């Protein structure tokens, strides 16, 4: 076994992989490997700077510590979501691919048969399998959820480099057999079809107008809180009609 070497650790895992049949799994694995190759190349990481381990529904990459972690994170936050959108736009439901990702760093040793050993790698794998990351992907409005280790956050993310906005990361704690692990979760916001959750787990109540206020209407991206439109008007679904159109129950005096 080689001595442990300091590396950047990248893990990517396909959501709901075990629910697919063999043909779908084979397709998704190929898409995952190809996407990973394109992403690392876009980050300026050559084949000679990385080693890959295949975990079936996920991929692990050991990346030379001299490669830019900032550029890798920038690629994961920009390039990878864009690639996933392009792939999923024309894919059938069974071929949709959504990913969880982890970026960590630490010392990893490689044995004579290509096996990887190291507590830092174990911690990264626990972050990948954590419920908090799985939940984040379910609620993420995009197709990718990313978590970084405390070391990566302190060394890179908190410095707010261009393309790696520190304010989009928040601290989480992951339980493990060796005690709690602190990590940082990236979030672009909840999906439109998933209601925001309160801290007690209950769904947030719908917002209602304050007592005495007029209801608001959203028309073509503009919010109208009430009033009267006179003259010639164009219908939302097409066509033209004449006369007054009243919103919010307030006609006023138009005599």
Say if residue 173 is in the same domain as residue 215. no
pLDDT of residue 56: 73
Q: Is residue 45 part of a domain?
A: yes
Q: Which domain covers residue 129, as residue numbers?
A: 5-186
**pLDDT, position 31:** 94
User: In this structure, are 232 and 182 located in the same domain?
Assistant: no
Max mean pLDDT among 20-24, 86-90, 168-172, 248-252 falls in 168-172
Can you give the pLDDT at residue 190? 57
60 plus 155 within the same structural domain: yes
Q: Considering only 25-34, 168-177, 222-231, which range has the smallest mean pLDDT? A: 222-231
**Residue 74 falls within a domain, yes or no?**
yes
What does residue 46 show for φ and ψ, rounded to 5 degrees?
-80, 165
Measured CA to CA, the distance from residue 22 to residue 220 in angstroms comes to 45
Residue 189: pLDDT band with limits 50, 70, 90: low
In the structure encoding, which two tokens stand for residue 35, read together?
């996407």
150 vs 175, which has greater pLDDT?
Answer: 150
Please check whether residues 112 and 155 belong to one and the same domain: yes
The residue among 77, 54, 240 whose CA lies nearest residue 156 is 77
Query: Quick check: 220 pLDDT over 60?
Result: no
197 domain-assigned: no
Which residues contact residue 181 at a Cβ distance below 8 angstroms, ignoring those fewer than 6 apart? 123, 126, 127, 150, 173, 174, 175
What is the pLDDT averaged over residues 157-180? Answer: 92
Q: Summarize the confidence of residues 167-190 as an average pLDDT.
A: 86
CB-based contact 13:100 (threshold 8 Å): yes
Confidence of residue 20 (pLDDT cuts 50, 70, 90): confident
Domain identity same for 56 and 12? yes
Q: Does the pLDDT at position 156 exceed 50? A: yes
- Are 9 and 105 in contact, with CB atoms under 8 Å apart? yes
Residue predicted with more confidence, 165 or 91: 165
Residue 210: φ, ψ to 5°: -65, 150
Distance CA 79, CA 223 (A): 34
For position 132, which CATH number holds? 3.30.70.1230
239 in the same domain as 171: no
Q: Residue 9: which pLDDT band, with cuts at 50, 70 and 90? A: very high
Please report which confidence band the pLDDT of residue 129 belongs to, taking 50, 70 and 90 as the band edges: very high
In a domain, 195, yes or no: no
Please state the domain count of the chain.
Answer: 2
Q: Answer whether 228's CB lies under 8 Å from 245's CB.
A: yes
List, in sequence order, every residue forming a beta bridge with 241; answer none if it has no partner: 233
Rounded to whole angstroms, what are the CA distances from 3 to 92, 109, 139?
A: 45, 6, 40
Measured CA to CA, the distance from residue 62 to residue 28 in angstroms comes to 21
| Average pLDDT value for residue range 112-137 | 90
- Please state the φ and ψ torsions of residue 74, each to the nearest 5 degrees: -60, -40
Mean pLDDT of 215-224: 45
For residue 252, being part of any structural domain is answered with yes
**Domain annotation covers residue 201:** no
Residue 194 lies in a domain: no
Residue 164 shares a structural domain with residue 104: yes
Neighbours of 223 (CB within 10 A): 8
Are 215 and 145 part of one and the same domain? no
Q: Tell me how far apart the alpha carbons of residues 85 and 83 are, in angstroms, rounded to a whole number.
A: 5
Phi, psi of 136 (to 5 degrees): -60, -40
- 172 shares a domain with 65: yes
Q: What length is written for the chain?
A: 255
- Do residues 76 and 119 both lie within one domain? yes
pTM for this predicted structure: 0.72
Asked, for residue 193, whether it belongs to a domain, the answer is no
């Amino acid at each position: 076994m080689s001595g442990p070497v300091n590396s950047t650790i990248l893990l990517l895992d396909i959501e709901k992989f075990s629910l697919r049949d063999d043909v779908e799994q084979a397709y998704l694995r190929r898409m995952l490997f190809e996407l990973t190759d394109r992403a690392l190349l876009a980050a300026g990481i050559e084949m000679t700077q990385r080693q890959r381990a295949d975990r079936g529904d996920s991929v692990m990459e050991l990346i030379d510590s001299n490669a830019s972690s900032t550029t890798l994170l920038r690629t994961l936050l920009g390039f990878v979501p864009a690639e996933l959108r392009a792939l999923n736009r024309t894919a059938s439901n069974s071929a949709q691919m959504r990913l969880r990702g982890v970026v960590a760093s630490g010392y990893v040793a490689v044995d004579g048969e290509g096996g990887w050993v190291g507590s830092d790698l174990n911690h990264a794998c626990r972050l990948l399998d954590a419920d908090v990351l799985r939940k984040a992907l379910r609620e993420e409005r995009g197709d990718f959820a990313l978590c970084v280790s405390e070391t990566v956050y302190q060394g890179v993310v908190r410095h707010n480099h261009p393309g790696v906005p520190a304010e989009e990361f928040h601290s989480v704690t992951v339980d493990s057999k060796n005690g709690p692990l602190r990590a940082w979760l990236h979030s672009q916001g909840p999906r439109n079809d998933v209601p925001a959750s309160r801290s007690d787990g209950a769904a947030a109540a719908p917002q209602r107008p304050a007592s005495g206020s007029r209801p608001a209407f959203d028309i073509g991206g503009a919010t109208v809180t009430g009033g009267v439109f006179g003259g010639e008007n164009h219908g939302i679904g097409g066509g033209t009609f004449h006369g007054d159109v009243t919103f919010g129950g307030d006609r006023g005096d138009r005599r």
